[in-house]
Structure 1
Amino acid sequence: MSTASLGGTLPARLTEAAVPDRPGLSRRRFAATATVLASGLTLTACSGGAGSAGSATSHSTLRIGQFWPPVSLDPAKAGGESLFYLNPAYDPLIHRAADGSLRPRLATSWRYLGKGNTAFEIKLRAGVTFSDGAPLDAEAVERNIAYFKQAAGQAAAFLAPVAKVEALDEHTVHLALSQPHPQLPALFTQDYFAGNLISPRALADPGGLARRTYGAGPYMLAPAETVAGDHYTYVPNPRYWNAKDRRYDRIVIKVLPNENTALAALKTGQVDVISGSYAIASGAARAGLKVASSPNIVMGIQLNDRAGKLCPPLRDVRVRQALNHAVDRQKITKALLGAYGTPTDQPAVPGQDGHNDTVFYPHDPVKAKQLLAAAGHADGFTLPVVVPSTPAFPGEIAQAIAADLEKVGVRMRITAKDPAGAAQEITKYPASTMGWGALPVYFMGRGLWLRDAVGMNPFHSSDPELERLDRQAAAADEKTRSGLDRDIVRRVVEQAWFLPVCLSPVFLFHRDSVRIEAVRDRPFPSVVDWRPAAGPGA
């Protein structure tokens, strides 16, 4: 995402400083070559020898290497990097399966009432208790929604339209909305945190939520076996409602802040699964490890100053379109990502919500110069851009874009700041780097391009046609909304508020002792869906 993140408010921890991502879709994942070098790493295998990359390991313990520790274990305040840490302990109301389908979990059914997407009903599973013994009932859902709304975390903005929560009976909840919201089923999955229900007893004193877990999931954190910032151990929740479907006896997540060290630990069998970036993908494949990728991180430049307050040329749509035509997306994508990247000029992923099957901005420097001349900038101009000072992908892509813009007379002046500083000073620069996870169009609008979008529209740019299409799509049924979502993405692209270059993957690397049913172009399945490749739990 950009230096000002969607992250604290979007599901994929979309921001570098705050959030996001969907599921784990943050730019931080690309800081693979940077940050802290872990020295003297030793992980104790729970059972079985290390063996080769293809050898079987114990089914009793799933060992995961993760680049970042959780910002918080509180689902209402966590970011995308916390997904691995939260999913074992917190069952969602609705489960998003690997193929993208939505399936019952703590909720057995759900539906919109009437037309217009302004009333929603949830039926809860009977007989469920949280790990601390509190019952799951309609009142627990009501208290959770109230807590998530006031916690100012990732889900808060997307719950804002929920005006009233009413318990019709012990296991039936009715939501009344102040405005249409077509994505409540997606919001209540594990991807967006709001569905990860917390025990109402814990909500009475939420101070402990950052360090312990109080969910209704298959596992719970074992504080005595956990060292914050180093490793997190999860043991079975004895009250779990679906214990027969639990895959492992224990889950251990080890923080490995250098991905080359993480890859070495994976090769030797000290861990079973790691997340990582394109930088180690080839090495993992050569070692015989399984490589799963999901190309849904949109990388490029945000042209934030659409009114031209800091950089007057940007107020002209022809100038913004010229910048898009000037960039050779194929060349940049191949140079930076090789076979793992996909060139793109739109914020939607092929095969997903809102994608248009067309190329809007083919590489055409001649047309770029013509548009600049028609807008009165035949001699070009200077475009200041702020980037986070990490030796990671956003900085590389900014340099590559700058080289192409120079050829049409636009001089990109890049200023590098620490990630927090870049986020805080985004309104002092007309443009910034972007690297955010592709989401349903309704969510992207509220995080990226509507007038009051959180983080990614720092100058509060507004387009009446875009706002109209959004209102229409929000109230539409699913079939009608599909076409409107494509219209919304097309309008965003035609306005050229962004300069996307490529879809960069997020990766999981794992040994063949673990079965992860990842579906290309879909977010990865929840940790609780991973299973031993053979033996008990397979």
Structure 2
Amino acid sequence: MSSAAVLSRREFTVGGLLLAAGLAAGACGGPSGSPATGRTLRIGQYWPPTSLDPGKAGGESQLFLQPAYDPLIYRAADGSYQPRLATAWRYLGTGNTAFEISLRDGVTFSDGSPLTAEALKGSIEHFRRSAGQAAAFLAPIATMTVSGPLVLRLTLNQPHPLLPALFTQDFLAGDVIGPAGVADPARLATGTVGAGPYVLLPGETVANDHYTYGPNPKYWNAEGRFYDRITVKVLPNENTALAALKTGQVDVVQGSYAIAGGAKAAGLKVASSPAIVMGLQLNDRAGTLCRPLGDVRVRQALNYAVDRVKITAALLGEYGIPVDQPSAPAQDSYSEQPFYTHDPGKARQLLAEAGVGGGFELPVVIPSTPAFPGDMAQAIASDLQQVGVTLRIAAKDPAAANAALTQFPASSMGWGALPAYFMGRGLWLKDAIGMNPFHSSDPELERLDRQAAAADEHARPALDKQIVRRVVELGWFLPVCLSPGMLFHRDTVGVDAIAGQPFPSVDAWHPAG
């Protein structure tokens, strides 16, 4: 999950998959028990944080922010939404254009200042001003009204059906920043001003190397804190990270399927979550740079040509899921029945009908990073070659690849599977941020999106399914598989991951047993 103007592929994080509104007050999520004494949780993470300011951060910063910032709403391991800093939330009226949040009484930030509706308003304003991934999704907020010391009402200029999801830990906007951090954002670059169970310890932290967190003495729910220290070590080499895990230098490592076999062989625990839709984006849907792509039959032919099952098995083994859609099985928008089967004959027929039976060349730009393995592009190229389409692959460093999206008719596809509302605004609506470089539009898709945005939680799942189905029919993308997010951990740590669901927050991890 990725920047107010551009959401990068890595910044699309996996969000909560269920919508729940109006929950009554209750205990926060996570295992119950007494706070640990003398225990340190040591985490290895591939990416350093883009920023320690939640307003500027991307999805790769979550492990560094979750210890120090409690969200308004907690997305639990099973996908349910539970009270955290907010005790209740609800839409007012119909149409999803007014929303009310009620805050927990007696909560203070790490500097001792109280959590109030006014403080929450300031935090949301900071996110809206900043260049992080949450800013675009907060844009529909027109006004914020403090209607009581602990009650904030949001009025929107357009329907927004997933504010509960947005205010969980998954999208960062729910991580409430204290007034001192809002007043002095530079302070957030080297410290934390949150209401979470921990605080960053600057004296024990070296930027881009390791980050150390100690207990927040002001934390409202000390019984829900399970460690005395959390350290996050940046380990940019996966094999080095696995070695550190094997030798006990760290307890948990984020990694990829590339080290899954080694982790299993060493007797380590492996948790996976279907997270990243991988494949190609067929961006030039008007045929400006590559004339054949302007014909929907050609885009559909490319989808028929690819053997998703074969590629997924070869590259991801047991951890991958073949998909022809930008959605995951646990989501409302997911269709069990595939639209595209592997059918080279059908692909050749459609290409012939579109007048390109003799084949054509398709230039594609991909990032030269493990986040999108070159093997994926080569495997797709091999299948397309069988129907006469030659993929010309240009590998560039990630920044250059993003900058070149309007110079190539196709590009790599590698972004988190989110609810349809969020993906539309990042990927396929006319004004989508970043990943629709040619501003393609489809009247039917836009109509369905408007309808779903204003629908309630009972009507929306069917509409979301129609939206994703329409995206698939248009052939704007060439998805191949769901690549997993993965955690590898020693048996001394309980991560409590649930198959098919996003991982729990770091602050919910606990000593095993």
TM-score > 0.5, shorter chain as reference: yes
Is residue 2:219 matched to residue 1:247? no
2:502 is matched with: 523
**8 Å Cα contact 1:394/1:433 also seen in 2:** no
Is residue 2:460 matched to residue 1:487? no
1:65 is matched with: 44
The aligned runs of 1:27-66 (5 Å cut-off) are 60-66=39-45
**8 Å Cα contact 2:15/2:419 also seen in 1:** no
2:197 is matched with: 218
2:211 is matched with: 232
Q: Alpha-carbon deviation of 1:390?
A: 2.6
SS in 2 for 1:478: coil
**8 Å Cα contact 1:111/1:122 also seen in 2:** yes
SS in 1 for 2:165: helix
Task: Give, in whole Å, the separation in 2 of the partners of 1:92 and 1:345.
Answer: 33
Is residue 2:244 matched to residue 1:262? no
SS in 1 for 2:488: strand
The aligned runs of 1:301-380 (5 Å cut-off) are 301-380=280-359
Is residue 2:431 matched to residue 1:452? yes
SS in 1 for 2:458: helix
Task: Give, in whole Å, the separation in 2 of the partners of 1:87 and 1:502.
Answer: 29
1:7 is matched with: 2
**8 Å Cα contact 2:284/2:409 also seen in 1:** yes
Kindly tell me the number of residue pairs found equivalent between the two proteins.
Answer: 494
**8 Å Cα contact 2:69/2:196 also seen in 1:** yes
1:409 is matched with: 388
Paired residue type of 1:20: F
Task: Give, in whole Å, the separation in 1 of the partners of 2:372 and 2:103.
Answer: 43
Task: Give, in whole Å, the separation in 2 of the partners of 1:520 and 1:448.
Answer: 26
Structure 1 gaps, min length 5: 1-5, 25-56
**8 Å Cα contact 1:108/1:124 also seen in 2:** yes
Equivalent of residue 164 in structure 2, options 173, 182, 185? 185
1:465 is matched with: 444
**8 Å Cα contact 1:299/1:394 also seen in 2:** no
SS in 2 for 1:335: helix
Considering only aligned residues, what root-mean-square deviation do their CA atoms show, in Å? 1.6
Structure 2 gaps, min length 5: 17-35
SS in 1 for 2:459: helix
Equivalent of residue 22 in structure 1, options 1, 4, 14? 14
Task: Give, in whole Å, the separation in 1 of the partners of 2:466 and 2:372.
Answer: 30
**8 Å Cα contact 2:339/2:472 also seen in 1:** yes
Paired residue type of 1:15: R
**8 Å Cα contact 1:77/1:152 also seen in 2:** yes
Q: How high is the sequence identity, in percent, across the aligned residues?
A: 68
**8 Å Cα contact 1:72/1:211 also seen in 2:** no
Task: Give, in whole Å, the separation in 2 of the partners of 1:391 and 1:181.
Answer: 34
Q: Deviations over 1:213-260 (max 9, x none)?
A: 100000000000111111100000000000111111110111111111
- Give the TM-score taking structure 1 as reference length: 0.90
Q: Alpha-carbon deviation of 1:268?
A: 1.0
Paired residue type of 1:526: S
**8 Å Cα contact 2:5/2:434 also seen in 1:** no
Paired residue type of 2:408: Y
1:46 is matched with: none
Q: Alpha-carbon deviation of 1:141?
A: 1.0
Q: Alpha-carbon deviation of 1:522?
A: 1.1
Q: Alpha-carbon deviation of 1:59?
A: 6.3
4+ residue segments displaced more than 6 Å: none
Paired residue type of 2:2: G
Is residue 2:116 matched to residue 1:137? yes
Paired residue type of 1:413: R
Paired residue type of 1:266: L
**8 Å Cα contact 1:122/1:173 also seen in 2:** yes
Task: Give, in whole Å, the separation in 2 of the partners of 1:287 and 1:14.
Answer: 34
The aligned runs of 1:77-88 (5 Å cut-off) are 77-88=56-67
SS in 2 for 1:64: strand
Task: Give, in whole Å, the separation in 1 of the partners of 2:354 and 2:449.
Answer: 29
